[in-house]
Structures are given as C-alpha cells and as structure tokens.
Amino acid sequence: MNPSPLEALPEDWQKALAVVAHPDDLEFGAAAAIARWTAQGKEVVYCLLTSGEAGIDGIPPAECGPLREAEQIESARIVGVSTVEFLGQPDGTIEYGVPLRQLIAEVIRRHRPEIVITNNFRDTWDGDVALNQADHINTGRATLDAVRDAANRWIFPHSGDRWNGVRQVWASGSPNSRHAVDTTDTFDLGVQSLRAHDAYITGLNWPDFDAGEFLEGFSRTTGTRLNTKYAAPFEVFTP
C-alpha cells in the first residue's frame, strides 16, 4: 500500500517561533524548511528550552552547554535565523506542567508569532517502535498548551499581554504528519545546518554518520508524497 499524499503547508504568514528542547532538534529535520521560509523574507525565531548540556557524555555540562549554544547559533545563522534564545531548563529532565506552560506562553506573548513550530511529541518517531525522548514529548505538549494559554488573558495574567494570533502549531517529524513543505532548493542548507553541530555529532560516537545521507533518507521519501524531490513533514494543529 502506497503512503497517502501530503498537503503543502500554507506560506501566507510572516513570523514563526520555533520552540524545541535541545540544540540540534530542529536540524534533524526542520532546518531546510526554515531556510526556505527565511529566503522568502519571513522571520523565524528559535527558542531552545535547554542548552543541551547533558548531551555529550565525554564533556561535563558546564563546558558542554556553552559549546552547544555556540553550535546552535551558527547552525541557525546558516538557515537565516538571527534570534536564538536559551531558557535554561535542565537538559534531560524537562517536566511537563504549569511552570513550563507559563515559561513558553511568556515567549509566545513576547514574540507574537503567527506560526509556532515544535518537534514531534508523539510517543515514537515511526508510529511503531522508535521511541521518542521525554524532553521532546514534554516540550511539544507544553508548547501546544502554551499557545492556548497565551491567548487567554486570564491565564498567566502577569506574563505579558495576551497573544491570540497563533494560527497553527506545526510539529516537525511527527509520524502522524499530513502536511509537508518542499525543501528541494534548500536541502543543502539543511545539511550544512546539521553539520554545524560537529561537537555533538562527534560526541555521539556515530563513526559512519553522514548528515547528508541521513537527511536525504526521509526527505526524499517525504518529497515523493508531496510530488517534489525533497520535503519536510509536519503534523498540523489548529488552536
């Protein structure tokens, strides 16, 4: 049975806010899409809940955090993103709850985006056995809820003026994706953006890992479903 076709994401917007758990989360799937949008003149802001300080086994967190922040800033620059914020949450132990919702709602109210981007927060990456990580799940769930919180003037009333202008939330790489964006022209920028996380990738001890080969695998499959060479998949939520 052939996979169902994907619907193209709307592009009649001007500002997006990407909220993810770690440096590298966007680069493992969404960066080429972001490069496309910034090339169109759209503004995309990155908000990283953590600095990824627990992500490299051989480097202590106090040293690792600044290193990964620097890699993320360079990675964002490659795809046209100049604003990157780190919120200082604990890498590896992000907890879903009201404090996290409030933190993200404050960011949404401050940046006032039309589109909010996050990562897959389903239990798996493939809808079957490839388990997702708790930080991703909790971040995505809290982001979805924070969009609604930010729109309600009576929730977190001391955390900035309400913002009810978010049209949709897009979860990158979800196994339930029904939409996608053509990344054929910006695929190489997405690869460069992932390669900018050199210390992290080296620390994973994946000697045979190739960023281009990895991204091409799912980008080509997704592109087939969108009738393009390459594409990035997203699950769409409307608040």
Closest CA to 236 of 13, 2, 28: 13
b/e map 83-107, b = 16+ CB within 10 Å = ebebeebebbebebeeebbbbbbbb
**pTM for this prediction:** 0.97
Closest CA to 201 of 73, 30, 31, 28: 28
Instruction: Provide mean pLDDT across the span 126-152.
Output: 97
Share of the chain above pLDDT 90, in %: 96
With cut-offs at 50, 70 and 90, classify the pLDDT of residue 206.
confident
Residue type, 81: V
Reported CATH class of domain 7-237: alpha beta
Beta-bridge mates of residue 131: 124
The token duo for 119 is 């990562």
What whole-number distance in Å separates Cα of residue 132 and Cα of residue 125? 6
Share of the chain above pLDDT 70, in %: 99
pLDDT score recorded for residue 1: 58
With cut-offs at 50, 70 and 90, classify the pLDDT of residue 202.
very high
Instruction: Provide mean pLDDT across the span 207-228.
Output: 95
Contact 233, 174 (CB under 8 A): yes
Residue 114 has pLDDT above 90, yes or no: yes
**What is the strand order of the sheet 7-8 is part of?**
7-8, 179-182, 231-237, 168-172, 115-119, 15-20, 43-48, 84-86
Work out whether strand 7-8 and strand 15-20 pair parallel, antiparallel, or are unpaired: unpaired
What whole-number distance in Å separates Cα of residue 221 and Cα of residue 213? 13
What whole-number distance in Å separates Cα of residue 45 and Cα of residue 39? 14
What whole-number distance in Å separates Cα of residue 203 and Cα of residue 22? 15
Which residue is it, tokens 């799912």?
218
What whole-number distance in Å separates Cα of residue 50 and Cα of residue 69? 9
